Amino acid sequence: MSEILREPNRTDISPILLIPYMWIGDFVRCHTVVRVLKGRWPDRPIDVLTDKTCAPLVDYMPGVRKGIVWDLPRRRLALGAQFALAAELRKESYGSALVMSRKWKAALAPTLAGIPERTGFIGEARFGLVNDWRRGEKDLPRMVDQCAALALPANARLPHEWPMPQLVVSRDDVAAWRFANKLGDRPAITLAPGAVGPSKRWSYFPEAARTLADIGFDVWVVGGPGEKQIAAEIVQAGGARVRDLTGNDLRNAILALAASPLAISNDSGLLHVAAAIGTPAVGIFGPTSPDLWKPLNPIAAVIQSRTDVPCRPCHKPVCRMQHHACMRDIPTSEVIEVAQRALAGAGLLATAARQAP
């Protein structure tokens, strides 16, 4: 890692703006970019453009001065909003902007704001918008390589290892959150049943919640408002020890994951959150390749179907074959067995057994 943390000109103190992808997992990955930039220029403030969904993550990212919260539409240009954002960015006197997305419109506001150095891949023919052009993103299969390469000089050799993302949550914040939500002090396993697209969602979270509650653990279900229905099913299956913590505020999920001795998650943004916090996590992968999409941080285990599924990995949000076998064929018993091994290593199984109903 040391080979990327050198910069002969360390006198520049102009702020840097990062414009990441506005998906939770990709947003967490951008903290690697923050760490690379801080290694090169320790005295340059770093701000991150964020939407309201991802904004709580910024509060837990070391090295980030602040988030610029601005919700731009995903599927239209919205010129008025772009000009308004540019006016806000102009106030900050940024010296550089790193544009992670390849989309044309992602580079528009920093251009309108007059940020002198705008780094990004050429993408959608962004000549004139991006003026520090980079090529070769298709040769970089991992998202972290594509994003972090922009934090290095053009044509720099990529390191064998990148700095890992970090999310730092204080014990005081966790304690206050548990008290405010009347969650007590028993160990709780956090389940993250959501994902972008139904093909990435494991089929048996309700059964897993019931088993974990029978063992003696509380169970917390986290996710966005789109997970309300599955959370209700999980609560119904698991009983009184299962709590629905889904909703619009990502902070609930961040603090739940920080408070838990173990998380069980699909390949989703919350798996990356758990890993960046340092919470042991079991990641369940079906249509996506863990080699490409698992967190850069270590996790407790990667689980995939042991049956031969010829169409895997398809990287599609909806199962084209309509059998969902790559997730359906992962039994609850396997996930629980892996979870129990991780919990036993932390000495928590015996404690839970004493609290079992």
Interval 270-307: pLDDT, tens: 999 999 999 999 999 999 999 999 999 999 999 999 88
Does pLDDT of 357 surpass 80? no
pLDDT digits (tens, 9 = 90+) for 222-234: 999 999 999 999 9
For the chain, what is the radius of gyration of the CA atoms?
21
Does pLDDT of 8 surpass 70? no
CA 106 distance to own-chain centroid: 20
Q: Report the range of poorest mean pLDDT among 208-212, 238-242, 323-327.
A: 323-327
Residues 194 and 221: their CA atoms lie apart, in Å, by 10
Determine the pLDDT at residue 70. 96
Determine the pLDDT at residue 183. 96
The fold adopted by the segment(s) 2-149 is Rossmann fold (3.40.50)
What percent of the chain is predicted at pLDDT more than 90? Answer: 79
Determine the pLDDT at residue 295. 96
Determine the pLDDT at residue 266. 97
pLDDT digits (tens, 9 = 90+) for 167-210: 999 999 999 999 999 999 999 999 999 999 899 999 999 999 99
The CATH code of the domain at 171-355 is 3.40.50.2000
Helix, strand and coil content of the chain, in percent to the nearest 5, comes to: 40, 15, 45
Residues 294 and 275: their CA atoms lie apart, in Å, by 10
Q: In what order do the strands lie in the sheet with 16-19?
A: 66-69, 46-50, 16-19, 96-99, 117-121, 132-134
> What are the extents of the domains in the chain?
2-149, 171-355
Q: For residues 46-72, give the mean pLDDT.
A: 97
Q: Is the pTM of this model over 0.85?
A: yes
Residue 134, SS3 per DSSP: strand
Cβ atoms < 10 Å from Cβ of 350: 10
Q: For residues 126-132, give the mean pLDDT.
A: 93
Q: Judge whether 2-149 and 171-355 match in fold.
A: yes
Cβ–Cβ under 8 Å, residues 302 and 285: yes
pLDDT band at 344; cut points 50, 70, 90: confident
